[in-house]
Amino acid sequence: NALKEKNKKLNILDVGGGYSPLCYLLSKRNFDLTVLDVSKKELGQLKNEKNIKIIIADASEKIPFADESFDVVASVASFEHVKAAKREKYIQELKRVAKKAVVLYVQTDKIAEYYDRKIHGFRSKIGIRDEWTEEHMKYGLPATEQLRAFFPNAKVMKMQNASVWYCIMIMQSIPVFELIFPGIVYALFLRWFDNKKPFIAMLLNWRK
C-alpha cells in the first residue's frame, strides 16, 4: 500500500537492494527508482538497466541525499547485514530521506537465528560458503521489539513460515535442482503453509 498512489510516479529509493526481485519488479512499473548499495559488485549487475539510477554508499554512515528526497524508501533483507552498533543510524537515515513512508523487510528474533544456524550448517556440510548467513550470525538478528521502537505506530506483519523458508533454502542449495524446483514445489505445496506460525520475518510499513 505504501507504493500505491494514483496519478503519480513515485520516487523510490531501494537501500541495500543490489540486483533483486524487488528491484526488477519496481523497475518495470511506474516508479522512478534509485538503488543504493555499499557493494560495487551488487550494483554492477544493474549497470545496463537504463531506467534505474545506482548509488554506491553506506546507509549506516550517510545516505547522500537531502531530507525527504524520496516518496518511499525500501530496505529488503539488508538491515540484518548492518552491524548492531550502526543500526539506529541506518534507520535514522532511511527515515530522514523518506517523504511519505519507509518499507522494511527483515528476518527477526531468536527463531530466525535458529534457522539461520540450521541452513548454514547444512550448506557447510555440502561445501557451500554462505557469507550472507554468516553475517546474520555474526551481527545477530534484530528483535521485533527493537524495530517497533525504531518505528512507532508502524504497521507490522509477521511473515514466512520457518519450516517453509528452510525447505526453500535447502532446495536452493543444491546445484541444478535450485534453478526451477524451489518455485514449483512452493507453488504446488508449500505456499499453503507459508501464512502459518512460527514466522521468521516481518514486513514493516511506517508512514510519516
Per residue in 161-196, pLDDT tens?
A: 999 999 999 999 988 878 788 889 999 999 999 999
Q: pLDDT for 33-72, tens place per residue?
A: 899 998 887 777 776 667 788 899 999 999 999 999 999 9
Residue that is written with C-alpha cell 560458503 in the block: 129
38 Cβ contact list (under 8 Å, min separation 6): 16, 56, 57, 58, 59
Q: How far is Cα 140 from Cα 137, in angstroms, rounded to an integer?
A: 5
Determine the pLDDT at residue 197: 95
Over 70: is that where the pLDDT of 4 sits? no
Contact in structure between 93 and 73 (CB atoms under 8 Å): no
- Whether the model pTM is above 0.85: yes
* Cβ neighbours, 10 Å, residue 24: 13
